[in-house]
């Protein structure tokens, strides 16, 4: 089965061609990072306009790179949410137009399902499995007992972990996107700054607003006292505390649910500190991490997820399919 997939939930315009849920024939991603960097974050209106500018070109390039003709495509898959509603609508309507013009069935896919199934590109999924979803908008622990069976064990009660990374980076003047910059500096620093306990007890839930506020207050107080701030040490202290909690809860979930596989998913899955801690501490189950290029938003992961969703349910959507900023995973 050949799937054409579309992703436009935030600030990447992406189209991919995927064969049988495994072979990525093309994956074109048009990023807007340089445009939004000057504003310190994604501006929804600008993101929507940039999607409009680039969507046709990305479609054409994906088909050209894959060497696939339109009549060879069996299914069109598109991210239906969650995300920025204006951005989602560009991708959904482009996908619907392509499907309608070429008489191809269409299927809407949850954005987080896409991130989870990015792992299926490199490895067959073994159930039951636990997946840690970490991104700018989500922090969740998911249990899967079979394909497209998502049980949420816990989630953030406030800020997503990626959001906290970006806020810390902005507080110390590192710029946007902040996550990779904090990660890079953390390697060169020491955990010399005391951070608050963010464990949330025995639950699988998370909270990152407290440590974010702690860092903001710490930096402010140092400035007030004209004391020097060691940015690498602060980044290291923050990252060690955050990754400790993420990994500790993951290990506990693996044991409680007798998982055969552990995965990470989402933009923060590219964090080298988190990857190293997982590699160093989780060794009793098979660990799968997505390739760096499939951690951030891309259409290949949506195509893979759409393939497995279709195979399991044998259902598609009609032309009433629409994008939604809020949508449940199951």
pLDDT digits (tens, 9 = 90+) for 173-231: 998 889 999 999 999 999 999 999 999 999 999 999 999 999 999 999 999 999 999 99
Are 206 and 106 in a shared domain?
Answer: no
Cα angle 244, 305, 322; round to 5: 110
Tell whether the model's pLDDT for residue 330 goes beyond 80: no
Q: What is the mean pLDDT of residues 280-289?
A: 96
Q: What percent of the chain has pLDDT over 90?
A: 94
pLDDT of the residue at 294: 97
Given pLDDT bands bounded at 50, 70 and 90, which one contains residue 37? confident
Q: Which residues contact 55 (CB under 8 A, 6 or more apart)?
A: 8, 13, 15, 90, 91, 94
Given pLDDT bands bounded at 50, 70 and 90, which one contains residue 26? very high
CA distances to 117, 128, 226, 261, 282 from 255, rounded to whole Å, are: 22, 11, 47, 11, 11
Tell whether the model's pLDDT for residue 300 goes beyond 80: yes
pLDDT of the residue at 67: 98
Average pLDDT along the chain? 96
| Angle (deg, nearest 10), helices 272-281 and 178-188 | 60
- Residue 225 falls inside a structural domain: yes
Are 180 and 32 in a shared domain?
Answer: no
Domain boundaries, position 108: 2-117+294-313
pLDDT tens sequence across 228-277: 999 999 999 999 999 999 999 999 999 999 999 999 999 999 999 999 99
Q: Into how many domains does the chain fold?
A: 2
Are 148 and 243 in a shared domain?
Answer: yes
pLDDT of the residue at 256: 98
Given pLDDT bands bounded at 50, 70 and 90, which one contains residue 40? confident
Are 141 and 215 in a shared domain?
Answer: yes
- Residue 14 falls inside a structural domain: yes
Tell whether the model's pLDDT for residue 13 goes beyond 80: yes
Are 26 and 130 in a shared domain?
Answer: no
Are 199 and 230 in a shared domain?
Answer: yes
pLDDT of the residue at 171: 95
CATH number assigned to the domain comprising residue 22: 3.30.420.40
Are 272 and 167 in a shared domain?
Answer: yes
- Residue 142 falls inside a structural domain: yes
Name the residue with tokens 């963010």. 198
Are 52 and 141 in a shared domain?
Answer: no
Are 272 and 200 in a shared domain?
Answer: yes
pLDDT of the residue at 77: 98
């Amino acid at each position: 089965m050949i799937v054409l997939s579309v992703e436009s939930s935030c600030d990447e315009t992406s189209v991919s061609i995927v064969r049988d849920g495994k072979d990525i024939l093309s994956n074109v991603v048009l990023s807007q990072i340089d445009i939004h960097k000057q504003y310190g974050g994604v501006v929804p209106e600008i993101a929507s306009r940039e999607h409009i500018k680039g969507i046709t070109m990305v479609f054409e390039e994906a088909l050209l790179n894959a060497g696939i003709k339109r009549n060879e495509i069996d299914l069109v898959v598109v991210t239906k949410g969650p995300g920025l509603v204006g951005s989602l609508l560009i991708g959904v309507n482009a996908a619907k137009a392509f499907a309608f013009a070429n008489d191809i069935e269409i299927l809407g896919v949850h954005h987080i399902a896409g991130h989870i199934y990015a792992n299926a590109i490199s490895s067959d999924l073994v159930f039951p499995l636990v997946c840690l979803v970490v991104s700018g908008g989500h922090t969740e622990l998911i249990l899967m007992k079979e394909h497209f069976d998502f049980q949420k064990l816990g989630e953030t009660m406030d800020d997503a972990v990626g959001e906290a990374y970006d806020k810390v980076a902005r507080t110390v003047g590192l710029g946007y996107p902040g996550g990779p910059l904090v990660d890079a500096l953390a390697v060169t620093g020491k955990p010399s700054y005391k951070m608050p306990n963010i464990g949330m007890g025995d639950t699988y839930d998370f909270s990152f607003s407290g440590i974010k506020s702690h860092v903001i207050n710490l930096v402010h107080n140092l400035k007030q006292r004209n004391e020097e701030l060691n940015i690498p040490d602060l980044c290291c202290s923050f990252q060690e505390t955050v990754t400790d909690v993420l990994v500790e809860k993951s290990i506990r979930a693996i044991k409680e649910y007798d998982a055969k596989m552990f995965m990470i998913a989402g933009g923060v899955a590219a964090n080298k500190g988190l990857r190293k801690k997982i590699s160093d501490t989780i060794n009793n189950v098979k660990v799968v991490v997505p390739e760096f290029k499939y951690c951030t938003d891309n259409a290949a992961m949506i195509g893979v997820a759409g393939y497995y969703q279709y195979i399991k349910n044998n259902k598609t959507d009609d032309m009433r399919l629409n994008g939604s900023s809020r949508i449940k995973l199951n």
